[in-house]
Structure formats: C-alpha cells, structure tokens
Chains A and B, each alone.
Chain A
C-alpha cells in the first residue's frame, strides 16, 4: 500500500507551484535526446537530475510518457468506452479486424466490471504492467459513467496502477474536476489543429449540446474545448500529452503552430504520429487517397518541433484494447473467456520487487552507455547515421532478424545515441524459414539505416541486406542497445578516417501501413 500512498500523495497541494513546474518542464529537453550541453535527460538518464521529482515519479514507469520506460514497462488499454462524440476523417468505426492494430479498433468491448477483472489478471501475469489507459475505442469522456466506474474499481483493487485517459477534448472541460478527483495523473488529448479552417478538413462533424455541428463551426467548438481543457489540466497539475496525426497537405506544416500552442498551455509531451490511411480501412482519408507521411517527413517535423518541447517518438498507435510492452500485443492471451478461467492472485509485493529489479536493469543500461560515451566525446565529426535494432525489450539487442515485428531506430552522432522512432514490419519469418517476398518490405522499412542490429540472422537475408547497403550486425547479440550503438558508431568513424568506407547519405524509408499482427 506504500505505493498507493506515494501516488495518492502527489496531490495538488503538495506539488510545487505550477509556474515553477512548467518552467522545469519547459527547460527539460526531449526524452531520449541530449540537450545542447550534452546533458542527459529523461529518455537517457538513470535519474531525474533535471526534472522535478514529482514529475519524474509520474513518468518513470510510464511507457507512453517516457521513451526509456517503454523498453521495460508495459501498459494495457481496456475497451470500455465505445461511444464517440466526434467524427474524424481518419477513423472508421465499422471496421474491426483481429489482425489490425491501430486506434479505434478493438476485438471485444468490456463492462467496467469485466475490465477491472482483466486488469487484475494482466497485472498478476505481467508484473511490469504499470499503466492502465482508457482510450476508447470511442472517446472515454463521451462514456463518462463507464470510464469513471472502471477507474473506481481499479483504484480499489490495484492501487499501484497508474490511470490515464486519452480524449479528443470535446467533453474535457466538463470532466476535468472528476478526473482530478479520481487521481488520474496522465491525460492525452488528440489535437490536430489550432485553426478551424484546417480543422474542417479533418473533422466532418461533432455532437455537442444535442446537436450535430458541421464544418468550421464544429472545428471551432472542438478547438476551443481542447484549449480550455488543456489549460484546466495544467492548472490542476495533471500531466498532459498531446497527440497529433500528421496529414500531409492538410496539417503537416500547421503542426508546428499546434506544437507552440500546446506548449504555451503547459503540455508535457507532444506525440506527432503518421496518418494511417489504407483504403481497405474504409476511412474518408483512406478512400480519397490521402497519403500518410514518409519516415523522413515525419522525422523532419518531429526534429523541427523538438527545440520547443519533449517529442514522443516511440508511440505505436496501438489498439484500444492493447496489452503488453509497446510494440507487442498480448491481448489475445486475455480474452474475457480466458480471464474467467484464470486464478487471479494480486501480489502487490511481488510486483514491487519485480519493478525494483527493472529499475536496476534500467540504471545498468544507462551506466553502460555513459561509460561507452567517455571517449566519443573527444571526437569531432558532423556524421550522423541511423541504425535499426531488433529488440524484445529490456534495452537489449535480443530479437532475431526474422522474428522482429518492428525495428527501433536510433540516430548516432558524436553527441551519442538518440531514439528517433520505430518501423513496423510484418513477420518476416514464421516457423524458422524466410518468406521470399517479405524481405523487400523489411528493407524498405529500414532503407534509411546504415546497419541493423540483431541477436541472430540467417545467411540469405544477411547477403540481401548487404546488397542493399545495410550492414547486418549480430556481434552485439544480447548486449545493451545504446552502449552497442555508441561502440558501433566509434568504429564507423574509425573506418571513415582510415578510408575503409565512404560515408554517404541514405534514402527515405516507408512507414508501414495496415496489418501489424501477421495473420
């Protein structure tokens, strides 16, 4: 129960004055990045030297709020909130496929009681599951009774689990006080515009005050509620992340303005995600041929906003019923039917012990990287490269090339390694043999990378990768990702100096659309 006390104690009265916190938040540079002075921050340091302890306490175990935590801690969503109060052109509520992973999609909806039971079952099976989110598949605040009932049940039975909610913001102002009453530490608002002229091309309608509003009026009302909601959260000391969907030609340039607007209202983290718009999803954007951004376009926009505030780059745009580490989905292990049959024993002490071990592991990861950095800092070079990493978590190179469902992308330069994103790929290999046409998909997804780090790789894909100019690296198998990356970069610089290789910029890469879980 200690943990509950510590979570509960982060009340408004005990938090430092808001302006002080916001100042610290503003000064704190992005997760996983190094600021000008090369000083490490939340994504890369073992401790919160440059962050308010109250904020560090809230984010350190939260995979969606800390890049570093996402290697070690898991989250789950419960689909208790099917109703929505707005329509977005990138969403189609009729489409639901078990092999599909994206927001707005779930396999089964739950009652609050079923959800509470599921949370206990998952928390008992996956001790690193620290966060419960309600993210739909509609809008949680358009289903306030179901959402708050779920939070109430979970707070009573599993008080160490952090609660968070993701909303479009329309109903946020009327529910902010209730959110703070229920001890909800983290709220995510999806904000795609701060100009209704642009908003009318994203939102065909909203339902507000017993009326369907369309066009620019709808976008104006939504915008006003989003801004007011964000300000109200900030006033109450609730951490707020802003999600934005990058829609080329509609709001891509405008998202720089969105970034400034949300930063000035106290948002903690900004997550710019690529539009998912495959025609088979049946969304307006999917059907009218609206494309999503390329990997380079997305990274360029994220980079340009990074000077302003923390940017999140590890978002997996997961389903509203996802379970597990980001990048994996174990929801099929926890269907209602399976949960009914489970013996659930909620072992708070065991969870705490496990999480303490994870904390040590995380500190070891950081220490290893810092030691490796020591002689890199003397190097002067403007070379920057990207590498792809196959990992199952724990901050290590521990996945086989052929089993990877995604690759994590790190940017390496003389200021160290920086996580800049991830690329989904379908399972390249199932049952131990390579599928001939899957490899080109993987190569296109990591085409901008100089190397790919894997725990193991077969002879054929190795040769194909080399032919595509990507260095397959298996010598860091099961070692720490960032330490290995820095080591590799030092060798790379050495080879440039000796003339063994010539550094050249690589091309763009695909952001994979559609199915995430191979059928």
Chain B
C-alpha cells in the first residue's frame, strides 16, 4: 500500500515533499520518510508516483513490500 524511502540513499533534497498529493512525506532525522498509511502510490492523482519521478537518486523511493499494494476504492 505504500512507497518507502531508502534512507541511506536519500540526499534529503526535499524535492519529494511538496509533490506528494497525500502530504505523506516529511523530514525525520536528516532524511525524508513516507507515512505508509497516507501513501496511495499516487493512484487516482497522477500517472506515476511523484516521489519516484522527482527523486534525483535512482531506486530510492521503492515499493514497501511489507504492505499490500494500494487499491483505489470502487
């Protein structure tokens, strides 16, 4: 149901924070984190997850497999 940020990869550039349509991203301990219960993988908002699209470091915003994939409510 959510994306997560690999903190060792995160440069803390903050680019993702304002792009998130769910306000699920915030700074914590020098890097950024995604609140999984708020993340909708941008489904219903945009064609691609915004954090992934704007992140300057590849493979930093990735699917968090410990949550089931998000499904848009019918």
Contacts and interface: CB of A to CB of B under 8 A. Distances in A.
Interface stretch (A77-85, A385-393, A395-403): A77-85
B48 A87 contact: no
Given A210-B46, A211-B47, A138 B54 contact: no
A367 to B, nearest CB: 49
B73 interface: no
A137 B13 CA distance: 9
Interface residues of B, number: 17
Interface in B21-74: 46-48, 50, 52-54, 56-57
Interface in A200-240: 207, 210-212
A142 interface: yes
Contacts of B18: 83
Contact of B13 (A84, A210, A211, A212): A84
Interface of B: 9, 11-15, 18-19, 46-48, 50, 52-54, 56-57
A93 B54 CA distance: 13
B48 A212 contact: yes
Contact of A207 (B9, B11, B14, B54): B54
A143 interface: yes
B54 A85 contact: yes
Interface string A81-117: 0111101000001100000000000000100000000
Interface of B is mostly: loop
A143 B13 CA distance: 10
B56 A84 contact: yes
B13 A207 contact: no
A82 B14 contact: yes
Given A93-B57, A94-B57, A83 B46 contact: no
A83 B47 contact: no
Contact of A93 (B11, B46, B47, B50): B11
Nearest to B57: A94
A211 B11 contact: no
Nearest to A142: B15
Contacts of B48: 211-212
A85 B18 CA distance: 12
26 contacts: A82-B13, A82-B14, A83-B13, A83-B15, A83-B54, A84-B13, A85-B15, A87-B56, A93-B13, A93-B56, A94-B9, A94-B11, A94-B57, A109-B12, A138-B13, A138-B15, A143-B14, A207-B53, A207-B54, A210-B19, A211-B47, A211-B48, A211-B53, A212-B48, A212-B52, A212-B53
Contacts of A85: 15, 54
A81 to B, nearest CB: 9
A212 B54 contact: yes
B12 to A, nearest CB: 7
A210 B18 CA distance: 11
Interface residues on A, range: 10 to 19
Contacts of A93: 11, 13, 56-57
B57 to A, nearest CB: 6
B56 to A, nearest CB: 5
Contacts of A84: 13, 15, 56
Interface string A133-154: 0000110001100000000000
Contacts of B19: 207, 210
A93 B9 CA distance: 10
B12 A82 contact: yes
A84 B18 CA distance: 12
A143 B19 CA distance: 11
A157 B53 CA distance: 38
A148 B41 CA distance: 31
A395 B11 CA distance: 40
Nearest to A138: B13
Contacts of B50: 210
Contacts of B15: 82-85, 138, 142, 207
